[in-house]
Amino acid sequence: MVVPVIDFSKLDGDERAQTLARLANGCEEWGFFQLVNHGIPDELLERVKKVCADCYKTEREAQFKDSKPVQLLTELLDSSDTEKKLDDLDWEDVFTLQDDNQWPSNPPEFKETMKEYRQELKKLAEKIMEVMDENLGLDKGYIKRAFTGNDHPFFGTKVSHYPPCPHPDRVPGLRAHTDAGGVILLFQDDEVGGLQCLKDNEWIDVQPIANAIVINTGDQIEVLSNGKYKSAWHRVLAKPDGNRRSIASFYNPSLTATIAPASQTAEYPKYVFGDYMSVYIKQKFEEKEPRFQAVAAI
């Protein structure tokens, strides 16, 4: 089984109906799919790869060597315990970009490149949300409006690296979880794999495809669609070789937006997204149903 790969350019031609159906299948059966011919220029993606690799090398690699996962794994390997695993941390280096937070200043092209990238990705996220509106039988713009509330949707970009790990059997790259928000657009490494999604109780590799964008849906799309589009569990395995890059952009509701199922017969609660996030932060790596219950009780 492989994660569906969908040619997004076909949405505008004779194969629109089939493409909508493929996207619906990706959302309903997987919660994950990969887009090719998505309209983001290769030339921009090449620049993104370069600035993120350069930024990691110059600004972050040295500090990863002193990071908590490295320290704890070294301690574990020095101990006589040959069985124990580190199951409450992640072998990754992460920083987040938002419109108004501090961005790395190295390399000098980082900021303009990533700004351009984020603008393009945000537009792509909105196109995907319109496809979901159509496939779910909602008015065009429904999901975007729901995410906007009285404010504006949140758009964040998480730049991650998963450096080579001397003992990938004893530490996760990133622990299994579902994403809290709306639509997640991931630009993953061309070569170094490790991302897996759960499909019918089986972990399936999200196969690297150069310059494809991996899409997955978060818990808020599950609620809005009243369970039709379930957020999928995913995880990243640590790897012995290669430094995996992943750039995940999150199109999420505003913290003040009210989220509820779009249909009349609702199986999920109605709540304010900020309240959901306060629960999620504490329970990210746990089952999702108790999160819905907890937020319903607020």
Among residue numbers 40 through 69, which ones bind ligand AKG (CB under 6 A)? none
Residue 219 near Fe ion by CB under 5 A: no
For the beta carbon of residue 34, count every other beta carbon within 10 angstroms: 22
185 near ligand AKG, rule: CB under 6 A: no
Closest CB 75 distance from ligand AKG, rounded Å: 25
Strand residues in 119-191 grouped as ranges (E): 154-162, 172-177, 183-188
Smallest gap from Cβ 297 to ligand AKG, in A, equals 26
**Collapsed DSSP state (helix, strand, coil) of residue 35:** strand
Nearer to ligand AKG by Cβ, of 11 and 195: the residue is 195
Minimum gap (Å) between residue 263 Cβ and ligand AKG: 27
Q: Rounded to the nearest 10 degrees, how much is the dihedral formed by the CA atoms of 266, 273, 280, 233?
A: 60
Q: Which of 90, 92, 179, 219 binds Fe ion (CB under 5 A)?
A: 179
Q: Residue 73, CB half-sphere, CA atoms under 13 Å: how many?
A: 23
Choose the stretch contacting Fe ion; rule: CB under 5 A; options: 20-28, 99-107, 179-187, 238-246.
179-187
| Contact flag: residue 186 with ligand AKG (CB under 6 A) | yes
Q: Is 188 in the site for ligand AKG (CB under 6 A)?
A: yes
Chain residue whose CB lies nearest ligand AKG: 246
Task: Report whether 182 contacts 221 (CB < 8 A).
Answer: yes
Q: Give the DSSP letter of residue 261.
A: -
What's the burial of 264, exposed, middle or buried (CB within 10 Å: 0-12/13-18/19+)?
A: exposed
| 222 lies in the binding site for Fe ion (CB under 5 A) | no
Paired tokens of 161 = 């690296």
Show contacts with ligand AKG in window 252-281 (CB under 6 A).
Answer: none
Q: Two tokens at 148?
A: 């906007």
Nearest-approach distance from CB 234 to ligand AKG, in angstroms: 5
By CB under 6 A, residue 246 contacts ligand AKG: yes
The residues facing 258 across adjacent strands are: 272
The answer to whether the beta carbons of residues 242 and 191 sit under 8 Å apart is: yes
Footprint of ligand AKG on this chain (CB under 6 A)? 158, 160, 174, 179, 186, 188, 195, 234, 236, 246, 248
